[in-house]
Chains A and B, each alone.
Chain A
Amino acid sequence: MFFHIVLERNMQLHPRYFGRNLRDNLVSKLMKDVEGTCSGRHGFVVAVTGIENIGKGLIRDGTGFVTFPVKYQCVVFRPFKGEILEAVVTMVNKMGFFAEAGPVQIFVSNHLIPDDMEFQSGDMPNYTTSDGSVKIQKDSEVRLKIIGTRVDATEI
């Protein structure tokens, strides 16, 4: 589900960015650093929507860098246990199928697929009901309930 939240971050800025465009430089650095990232607590930061507050900068001893505490609003996408959402199937194999909902990857094990659906291998592997009325294959839309989440640091 999408959420609109306020987050805070300490941004370090090199003196070369000071001057008239300090604020703009700070904001673009923030967006570069934060958009597209994912954390276990907040989920995917999809977009920064606004800056709420930029605090006073503190010069760090020994270097010329200045640290600004920045409060910003952003749209995040975080899936939850118990949430129901719709996803598009990306891959089907005999262990289950992978689906995507926005930036999030979902895996549905074949144990959680209704028993009357059988895996059919072939050119387009799919799960089909015994009477052939419902088929889950690549690019199918499915509605599912999330039963667990995991953050994989290597896949950002």
Chain B
Amino acid sequence: MKILGLLSLLATHLSANSVNIEENAGQFFSSGHTNNWAVLVCTSRFWFNYRHVANTLSVYRSVKRLGIPDSHIVLMLADDMACNHRNPKPATVFSHKNMELNVYGDDVEVDYRGYEVTVENFLRVLTGRLPPSTPRSKRLLSDDRSNILIYLTGHGGNGFLKFQDSEEISNVELADAFQQMWQKRRYNELLFIIDTCQGASMYERFYSPNLMALASSQVGEDSLSHQPDLAIGVHLMDRYTFYLLEFLEDIHPASKSNMNDLFKVCPKSQCVSTPGHRTDLFLRDPGSALITDFFGSVRKVEITMETVNLTDPIEQVEQNFVNEDLQKESYSYVDQLPVSEIIHQGLQLVNNNPGLSHPHLSFTGQSVCCRPSSISSI
């Protein structure tokens, strides 16, 4: 009798679980991405820009801690602070004063260093147009199921970001680079964080889908640095990144915090500047996007003894698409080079972004994709 009771209990439990697994299976693929990449760029050199390198390295540390491996991180540092002659603690880069946290450590892998950090290299990394001899560590080998985190820091202005004290990247170039990535199906969703003065101007021109952007300050505002260290003699971190990191310290691979929490990081009282964000190009509700979707490389693994029928969840995703606005249909991929359309319909030039020299995709539905002839018009 007892055995029967137990067996029946087991059976109901298993059936209940199987029902759960069937339902949970749908959630496995709700986010839509299968791998994570990160491109972390520090664009300024010289000893007094120590804090930008420290910013980038701190984000690098967090991203590694949450699971993205070095092979999926492209780290670009424009100057070597750890081995700078003026560093009183050689081979270290500190992000907290009193030298609590050395973010340089022993296992930093810098992919682009020193003078290799240029606008051209950055855009080549994003768009994948690298010479065949480029090693894997310097490539962004993302596909259409990759979530990419892009973090930029340095000195910026209204509509541009300064690279290495000699050149600039404009917000138009950046938007076009992301559009190229979209056309070449190089990302599923992209989170863009920028910590510079007037950072919000850099994401004003985005027009590709599935982009979410955060900036540390609005147009006309300066982003401020956080704390100086008197022993080293420089400012160690910028405020926005400092509070961003404090926030990320609480995130672990299984946490369920979503993007709305990220938008609340560093209010004006702490940051002095007003952080901004942009989510209109993002398909999903930002509340449903987890922090670990971008900052971590989270593999959803659940061990089960059951066989799960996977056909349903895939349809579920498509149903989700149908339930969304009809406008979303325009955001689908198009043929790379529909020759017949070119021959019969001719080129349709739509000027979405003034100041651009080459024709590009329009979103009216019948569209022609024209390959841009150059990567960037520097």
Do A and B interact? no
List the interface of chain A (C-beta within 8 A of B): none
